[in-house]
Each structure stands twice: as structure tokens, then as C-alpha cells.
Amino acid sequence: MNHEEIMKRRQELIDGPIYSIPSEKMSKISDKLADANPKSRDLYERAKDLIPGGAQHMLVNKNPFPFTIANASGSKMFDVDGNEYVDYLMMAGPIILGHNYPPLIDAVVSVIKEEGIGAGWTSEWELKATELIKKHMPSIELFRYFQSGTEANMAASRLVRVYTGKKKIMKMGGSYHGWYDPFIWSMHIPHSGPMDGAGIPPEVFNDLVCCDPPYDLDLIEKHLKTGDVAGVFIEPIGGESGATPMPPEFPKELRKLCDTYETLLVFDEVVTAFRVDMGGAQAYYDVEPDITVMGKVLTHGFPSSGGIGGKRDIMECLVAGLQPTKGRAFVAGTMGANAITTSAGYWAIKYIEEENAVEKAGLKGDTLSAGLNELFNSMDFPFFSYNFKSIVHIETAAPVAVDIRKEGAIVSALRRKEVVDDIATALLAEGILTKYGARAFLSIAHTDEDIDNTLKAFEKVLGMLEKE
């Protein structure tokens, strides 16, 4: 499905009626889930006295309460009550080989046994992992590890300012670059401004330029002409992993603008690296960024994972100590580039490469997306699915597509979000775990049977929907 059709059909969903699961049916679904998860319920009651809100993770389904997962394997997750789920969250994207891929687990455990968890000094694994990253991403000459995608974006923000001598950074509305203060602006939803900015002083946003609406090249050029934008940050398939999709020609046009106005182009490849292509979205679009940001995908979900890479002259601004000819962007982190992280990165990339995982998982994404579209059409719903290889988007109520500047639009967006959350809960009751009911990350571990069962679950849930 091309970009024009996606945008057209998103608008049709916004202009049309909302299809939702009636409250009485949702009550039965919640009761069914609660009855099937007594141990999770008890653990949640304990958690409420230990954790704010009773859950650490923002992606968990909270209706009727967050479930506690006992283990995960391949395409499946199992909760403490013994319930099995086909998992399409895949830790929000990094798992493309399947949960706890045995060769990867064995390799990292072997490193831990032989070398320990790390010593705060250089490990050979960071060199081996970086050599593999450079093999697949020619834009990267030097690479520096951090401990999360958020931290890597923070470092990249500091780096672009030091290298260019300019103050401002630019992002697209609706894009997620972690929870670093300035990037909170218009996070998730275009035009939402400081909606999620409680606790952040307003002046923090003075040196952020947010392009709302996103991907407007004329608007971007207007800001770049001021001469004070140090770097432009994008999710290179569109905001929220393509939930706010961008025109396919946009990255190349943005590259030209950044070159013209001497601004650094930053690709946030926290989700896309080693998933849409072994060379990330930069290979997918054949565009070379100045800086590449990575996160959890770098280690296939192993912890303390993040990093930034780029051309030598830029990255050398991160070198410790005084540099007479260059500015220095101070960064640090005791746990960065530890042996667990870097050995996991090396072996993860190695196995993704050997398994041809990008293409295999991408074909599964094609199959699921096509199956959903066939189902939506056969049941006469205006819903649709599109995918970037193994990243599958499912549009039913399209809450992030709402222009919240219009009168009554915020109420509509919130209602649409509630509807999508209900669909996610109903799918969970059928043993299908998605990201917010609107996204699925496929892995090579997903089987034809998994996809068939997923389509059957969707068919059952669609049968519950009524027009509001």
C-alpha cells in the first residue's frame, strides 16, 4: 500500500464513524481475563504498593490489570497463570529472531561465565560488534555505546550542537525519540505540543524546532534558513515506527536540505536497524545520515543497549580530554559497552545476518498485513493494514491521525484511543498480544499457524464491533 493510499484511507477513517466494542461485551472480556489470571491479579495487588501505578512498563495492557509474564520463547509468551499468547510486541521491536533465541542466549551466557558482566574497561566484544555494525552501515565510521535509545538521543543532541556550533535541534511532530526533555514536545501525536511535558520547564523547548505538520519540506526549509538548526532528528520510516508515515521521497529531500544549510541529519534507527534492512532504514531508502542512533534493537533486547555512530570528524567530538581543534561533547556511562551488551550485539547481528531474518520476517509481515486487509474487506469494515517489512500497522480507529487542533478533536482522539485499547484487550483474551492493538512486530519464529490464529482472533473481535 503506497503512501498516498495510506493517508487517504486514514482520513476516511477519521471522517467516518467509530466502530467499537459495546461496554457490556467489554465487561465480559475483562471478567474472562480476570478469571483466567488469578496469580497475575494477586501480583498486581502487591505491585500497587511497590511500583507507581502497579506497572513499570508503559506498553503493558492494563485492562483488567497488567499480567505477569513467566517466560517467553520463540513467538510465544506465557504468563504466571500458564496462559499462552502469540506475541507481536516483541519487546517493542528488537526481537526478530524470536524470544530467547537459543544460540544467542548460549553465546552471551558463555561470555558471562568466561569474562563476567564487564569491568568498566575495553572489551574485545565492543570492537567485534562495532566492526559488524560498520559492515552493514557505511555511514558509520566510529561508534559509541550508551545504555538506552533515550540516552543515545540525548548524546546525539549534544553532539550535533558541539560539532556545528548551532543551538537548535529539530524533530517531526508525532515522533518518539525517548523521554529526553525537549523531545517530549509533540510526542506520539502531531500538534500535541507540551501535552506530556509535566515537570519540564517551558524554556527547555526554546531550542527545539518541531515541524507540525511533519514532513513539510517547505516548513523545514523555512526553519533551516535561519541558520541556527544544528541537527534534524527523524524516525526514518515515520513517527512511532511508521504510525505517522512519511512520503518515501522525504529522506532524500531532507538530506539535500541538510546539506544546503549545513545541518546534520540524524536517523533514529532504534526500531529500524537490522529490521527493515540489515543496513537499517538508511539502506532501505538509500540515504546516508550524518549520525545514526540505536537502542534496544542493537542487542536483540539484551539490557543496557544503545549507541550512536557517524563520520569520524563528527564522532571525534565525543573523545575524552581536551581537543584544541574541536569542541568536546561530554558523555559518560559506567555500564556503557559492557561485555553483556556488546557480545549480545555481536552475536545478534551475526545470527540475524546468517538467518536472513530481515527478509524472512518481512515476508511474514507481508502475509499478516495482506490477511488482515482481506479480512477487513470481507467483513465490510473500512479498516486497513500496511507494513514496512516486518513492522505491521493496523488502522481501525486511527487516533494518532486526528488533527487535534480542530474543535472537539481531542475528545475524538481520546475516544478513538480507548476503542483501539479495547480491541487490544479483546485480542489479548483470544491469546494475541499486540502493541496497543495497532501494531505488530514479526519475527522468524512466527509460524503460519500463528498468523492463521491471529486472523481468526481478529475475525472474532471484529464480529463484536458496532457502529457508534
Specify the pLDDT at position 336.
Answer: 87
Same domain, 296 and 364: no
Same domain, 66 and 181: no
Buried b (16+ CB within 10 A) or exposed e, 212-228: bebbeeeebeebbeeee
Same domain, 121 and 32: no
pTM: 0.96
Q: Which of 330, 354, 378 is the last residue of a domain?
A: 354
Same domain, 139 and 277: yes
User: What CATH number has the domain bearing residue 228?
Assistant: 3.40.640.10
User: What CATH number has the domain bearing residue 81?
Assistant: 3.90.1150.10
| Domain of residue 417, residue span | 3-97+356-467
d(CA 388, CA 369): 10
Same domain, 159 and 86: no
d(CA 403, CA 10): 11
Same domain, 229 and 342: yes
Report which of 333, 387, 343, 398 is spatially closest to residue 365, judged by C-alpha positions: 387
Specify the pLDDT at position 275.
Answer: 97
* Cβ atoms 444, 96 nearer than 8 A: yes
Specify the pLDDT at position 58.
Answer: 84
DSSP readout, 64-89?
S-PPPEEEEEBTEEEETT--EEEE--
d(CA 170, CA 261): 13
Same domain, 136 and 49: no
Q: CA 391, 395, 396, 398: dihedral to nearest 10 degrees?
A: 120
* Cβ atoms 133, 281 nearer than 8 A: no
Sheet containing strand 84-87, strands side by side: 69-73, 76-79, 84-87, 432-433
Report which of 183, 135, 160 is spatially closest to residue 230, judged by C-alpha positions: 160
Residues 6+ apart with CB under 8 A from 463: 379
Query: Could you give the 3-state DSSP secondary structure of residue 135?
Result: helix
pLDDT, tens digit only, all 468 positions of the chain: 999 999 999 999 999 999 999 999 999 999 999 999 999 999 999 999 999 999 998 889 999 999 999 999 999 999 999 999 999 999 999 999 999 999 999 999 999 999 988 888 888 999 999 999 999 999 999 999 999 999 999 999 999 999 999 999 999 999 999 999 999 999 989 999 999 999 999 999 999 999 999 999 999 999 999 999 999 999 999 999 999 999 999 999 999 999 999 999 999 999 999 999 999 999 999 999 999 999 999 999 998 899 999 999 999 999 865 565 678 888 988 888 999 999 999 999 999 999 999 999 999 999 999 999 999 999 999 999 999 999 999 999 999 999 999 999 999 999 999 999 999 999 999 999 999 999 999 999 999 999 999 999 999 999 999 999
Same domain, 393 and 249: no
Same domain, 318 and 397: no
Same domain, 365 and 336: no
Same domain, 93 and 112: no
Q: Which of 309, 324, 354 is the last residue of a domain?
A: 354
Same domain, 121 and 172: yes
DSSP readout, 332-355?
--TTTT-HHHHHHHHHHHHHHHHT
Q: Which of 334, 354, 374 is the last residue of a domain?
A: 354
Look up residue 301 and give its three cell numbers: 533486547
Query: What is the count of structural domains for the chain?
Result: 2
